[in-house]
Amino acid sequence: MFLAGIKKELKLFTRGFRLWGILLAVVGIALMYPGMYKLIEIMADMLKMMSAEAGVSADEAVSSITEMMDTLAALYGGSLSNVGFFTGIVSFTAEGFLIMALLLMATAGGEQKKRSVIMPNCAGLTPAGYVVPKFAMYPAIIGILGFVGVILTALFSQLMFGDAIPFENVAFSGGCVAFYLVFMISVYFLFGIATGKPGIGVVVMYFGSALLPTLLNAFDINKYNPFALQGMIMTPAADADMQNFWLSAVVTVTLTVICCLLSLVITSVRRIDNSEGEANL
């Protein structure tokens, strides 16, 4: 039954634009910030060249751009590769999650709106066969893609600026992004499966992820939770609190299991009335 559920979810995930959309989003986000800073460098060089050809001085504008880039590099260890890398990977927890969640709406309970949730029951698929494969597959896939996105960001930054990024920083930041996305997708699937309204879940999760870290920090609850991982993404591995990282990762996995169990309980006790009109859940 579990394997049948996995097969069903794989077909739902790979057909249409879901898989390719997420892959394009990962590559696009990985390229966005390194590419933006490289473009600024190229524009400064072009401005200097064009002004020289036209006999007009653009030293002040070029100096301002150079000063801005030097200031950014100083904030991130004196390397523009680090600037592109660290600013880029943060986007995976915000814009990246938003795009992934929108593309996964149909799998995160969205099929209930079309009343197709009754089809697995008619085919003999149990609530566990419906819920468990989702939590076994999607959080893991999104977490892995988040980690790959961090690696791609590091590669693009190194190729564009030439400065090497320590592998331990890439691995640590990748782990933070991966576990954080696992948590966010798990809670998102819990909301979508429980309500059948993943679109509302996208809004709640996106704005909640921006508000909750601020509230937790205000109450000095900034350790041993998934949002602590979000706060450590831009921290070099040598300066990171590894105990906080590993315990936060354990808490994240535990919360993912809890989300799965809650979704299973809600799906098991809910009555689906498909006698007329829209399904009454």
Query: What are the extents of the domains in the chain?
Result: 2-28+88-269
Lowest mean pLDDT among 2-6, 133-137, 235-239: 2-6
Confidence tier at 183 by pLDDT (50, 70, 90): very high
What average pLDDT does range 23-35 have in this prediction? Answer: 90
In this prediction the pTM is 0.84
Tell me what the pLDDT averaged over the chain comes to. Answer: 82
In the predicted structure, residue 142 carries a pLDDT above the cut 70: yes
Give the three-state DSSP class for 58. coil
Q: By CB neighbour count within 10 A (0-12 exposed, 13-18 middle, 19+ buried), where does 64 fall?
A: exposed
In the predicted structure, residue 16 carries a pLDDT above the cut 80: no
pLDDT > 90: percent of the chain: 27
Per the CB < 8 A criterion, the answer to whether 224 and 244 are in contact is yes
In the predicted structure, residue 217 carries a pLDDT above the cut 50: yes
What average pLDDT does range 47-52 have in this prediction? Answer: 68
Category of 165 on φ-ψ map: left (φ > 0), alpha (ψ -120 to 50) or beta: beta
Residue pointed to by tokens 């299991």:
257
What average pLDDT does range 227-238 have in this prediction? Answer: 87
Nearest to 265 by CA among 131, 148, 82: 131
In the predicted structure, residue 96 carries a pLDDT above the cut 80: yes
In the predicted structure, residue 193 carries a pLDDT above the cut 90: no
Confidence tier at 14 by pLDDT (50, 70, 90): confident
